[in-house]
Amino acid sequence: DAGITQSPRYKITETGRQVTLMCHQTWSHSYMFWYRQDLGHGLRLIYYSAAADITDKGEVPDGYVVSRSKTENFPLTLESATRSQTSVYFCASSGRVSEKLFFGSGTQLSVL
């Protein structure tokens, strides 16, 4: 089905491990985003991408790495996971900046 899909849906890992969260969209949207959602902080932008091979930092980029070699994929890597990175991570996309945002179903990540 067309849309934006995230995997895995749930992930448990240990402190210090590398973790990659996947995001795939089928609309050929130019813009893709990674947000984390935490109680008390709401939604915060981690990284975004305006096109393939163009990425930029958001509000809370430390400890995260992104890449976008293809328009449809925008993986998020936690290089060395910390407990403070326990959160729900959402990927989103839009055709143009400030158009409607389409969100994936999220990845619930627990770092033990």
- Determine the Cα–Cα distance for residues 89 and 27; give it in Å rounded to an integer: 20
Choose, by CB under 8 A, the member of 7, 13, 43, 75 that binds another protein.
43
Closest CA to 36 of 101, 91, 79: 91
Nearer to another protein, 21 or 92 (CB): 92
Scan residues 90-109 and list those touching another protein (CB under 8 A).
90, 92, 97-106
Residue type present at position 74: F
Backbone angles phi and psi of 69, in degrees to 5: -80, -25
Closest approach of Cβ 99 to another protein, in Å?
7
Dihedral of alpha carbons 62, 64, 7, 28, sign: positive
Closest approach of Cβ 80 to another protein, in Å?
25
DSSP state of 84: G
User: What is the size of the binding site for another protein (CB under 8 A)?
Assistant: 22
Q: Is 45 in the site for another protein (CB under 8 A)?
A: yes
Interface ranges with another protein (CB under 8 A): 31, 33, 42-43, 45, 48, 50, 56-58, 90, 92, 97-106
